[in-house]
Structure 1
Amino acid sequence: MSPDRRLLAGGGALVALAAAVGALAYPELPAEMATHWNASGEVDGTTPRPVAVALLPALAAALLGVFLVLPRVDPRNDYAGFRFAYDALALATLGCLAYVHAVLVAVNLGVDVGVLQAVAPAVGGIYVVAGYVTERADQNWFVGVRTPWTLEDEDVWAATNRLVGALFKAGGVVAALGFLVPSYAVALVVAPAAAAVVVSVGYSYHRYHRAA
């Protein structure tokens, strides 16, 4: 099976699963569904049932299309060496959306679960997979740390992506702790991504100019 067909099959199954969860629960869901929570875990936004049930499966389907297209439109087209890792990231992202959709449906059916607490481990899992992919990504325009300095120099690309990949994997553990400490779930989920952005820019700049 070709990589595209493998990704389409796995991603399509996740999209279908998310859609099925919403469809099966639809008659029991409220007309206005809770869809947004503040940092304290309190509902501060609702959405009409048809939109709320369709939104995340539709987003997942659109993202699947994006993941399928990116390797084809990237001018560098250097995905063969890390295509398995790339597909893992795509499926993990779609799986996370399907999981969040299931949590959303469960909460609106009356299941007593903290949304932010429940989502934290899923985000942590995405970080771990993103770290795995980042460490292995060859130079390209869409995946990995893409700063002016990493795209200019292959050695800077490799060093920066190894470092940031390790940070993402450690950050996945930090984010998952939000399940155990729900009052800090938002901070634990956001902090690793913010740290990775700062480090990726600062380190790639430093590494490039040190080698110049």
Structure 2
Amino acid sequence: MDTTQRLTLAGGVVVLAGVASALAAPALPDSVVTHWNAAGEPDGTMAKSVALAFLPALSAVLVVLFALAPRIDPLGANVESFCPAYDWFIVAVATFVLVLHTGVIAFNLGYEFDVTLLVIAGVAALFYAVGELLTRAEPNWFVGIRTPWTLSSEAVWERTHELGGWLFKLTAVVSLIGLFFGDAAVYFLVVPALLTAAITLAYSYYQYRRLENGTESPSDTGV
């Protein structure tokens, strides 16, 4: 499967979201629930027409922006080197939005389930996809952990993304474990995600300082 086919698949997922809206529209009330609190209780609504259009439109915009990014990136050639992983990430994003959209529709059609847990599971899967992408990403201006230090050194970029990839995957696993802890599940997502962000930021600076101070060469492993 080449890039065109993978992007076509992502586009097909967007179309599925639109089809779901069209099929569900006649059976939905004029105002539908679109927001839930951490306890899974509905606390926000939206007009049916807006709600049914919003997530499919958002998904379409995201797919187009992701598809265009390598073409306007000065380091676009680097993106080509991990193109399959990047394209599959686009598919994953579109699928994530589709899952959220169908969840919203199902809830408003009367199906009873904890929407918060659905969102956490979806975000966990997306975090795992992020981890897969990071372990393959080469320096560029749109994708990856872009700190001043990773963008200043290919060695720092490589080390930070290797660590970041595994941390995002670990966050995904911890988040899924959290699904068994009821109302506390959201903390199993938020806390590891914040730690991952903080650790990768600090680690990129640490690695950059090591190289700048000459305590390590770019070819060393330096974990």
Shift of 1:119: 1.9
Q: Structure 1 residues 98-107 or 187-196, which shifts more?
A: 187-196
AA aligned opposite 1:70? A
Give the fraction of aligned pairs with identical amino acids, expressed as a percent: 40
State the secondary structure of the residue aligned to 1:33: strand
Q: Which residue of 1 aligns with 2:197?
A: 197
Shift of 1:103: 0.4
AA aligned opposite 1:159? R
Kept in 1: contact 2:7–2:87 (CA 8 A): no
Kept in 1: contact 2:144–2:161 (CA 8 A): yes
Kept in 2: contact 1:15–1:61 (CA 8 A): yes
Between the aligned partners of 1:70 and 1:146, the Cα distance in structure 2 is: 15
State the secondary structure of the residue aligned to 1:9: helix
Shift of 1:41: 1.3
Q: Which residue of 1 aligns with 2:206?
A: 206
Between the aligned partners of 1:97 and 1:24, the Cα distance in structure 2 is: 17
Q: Which residue of 2 aligns with 1:79?
A: 79
AA aligned opposite 2:195? A
Shift of 1:201: 1.0
Between the aligned partners of 1:122 and 1:2, the Cα distance in structure 2 is: 26
- Which has the higher Rg, Structure 1 or Structure 2? 2
Between the aligned partners of 2:104 and 2:136, the Cα distance in structure 1 is: 33
5+ long unaligned stretches in structure 1: none
Q: Which residue of 1 aligns with 2:109?
A: 109
Between the aligned partners of 1:12 and 1:41, the Cα distance in structure 2 is: 30
Between the aligned partners of 1:189 and 1:96, the Cα distance in structure 2 is: 16
AA aligned opposite 2:179? F
TM-aligned CA distance change 1:53 to 1:120, over 3 Å: same
Q: Which residue of 2 aligns with 1:24?
A: 23
Where do 4+ consecutive residues of structure 1 move more than 3 Å? none
Between the aligned partners of 1:69 and 1:7, the Cα distance in structure 2 is: 14
Matched, 1:136 2:136: yes
Between the aligned partners of 2:24 and 2:177, the Cα distance in structure 1 is: 30
Q: Which residue of 2 aligns with 1:70?
A: 69
Kept in 2: contact 1:147–1:201 (CA 8 A): yes
Matched, 1:60 2:45: no
AA aligned opposite 1:57? P
- Once the two structures are superposed, the pairs formed by residues 103-182 of structure 1 within 5 Å of their partners are 103-182=103-182
What's the TM-score once normalised by structure 2's chain length? 0.91
Q: Which residue of 2 aligns with 1:50?
A: 49
Between the aligned partners of 1:86 and 1:117, the Cα distance in structure 2 is: 27
AA aligned opposite 1:162? E
TM-aligned CA distance change 1:66 to 1:7, over 3 Å: farther
5+ long unaligned stretches in structure 2: 213-223
Between the aligned partners of 1:211 and 1:41, the Cα distance in structure 2 is: 47
Kept in 1: contact 2:7–2:91 (CA 8 A): no
Q: Which residue of 2 aligns with 1:188?
A: 188
Q: Structure 1 residues 185-194 or 161-170, which shifts more?
A: 185-194
Kept in 1: contact 2:134–2:161 (CA 8 A): yes
What's the TM-score once normalised by structure 1's chain length? 0.96
Shift of 1:139: 0.3
Between the aligned partners of 1:103 and 1:120, the Cα distance in structure 2 is: 12
Between the aligned partners of 2:91 and 2:68, the Cα distance in structure 1 is: 15
TM-aligned CA distance change 1:81 to 1:142, over 3 Å: same
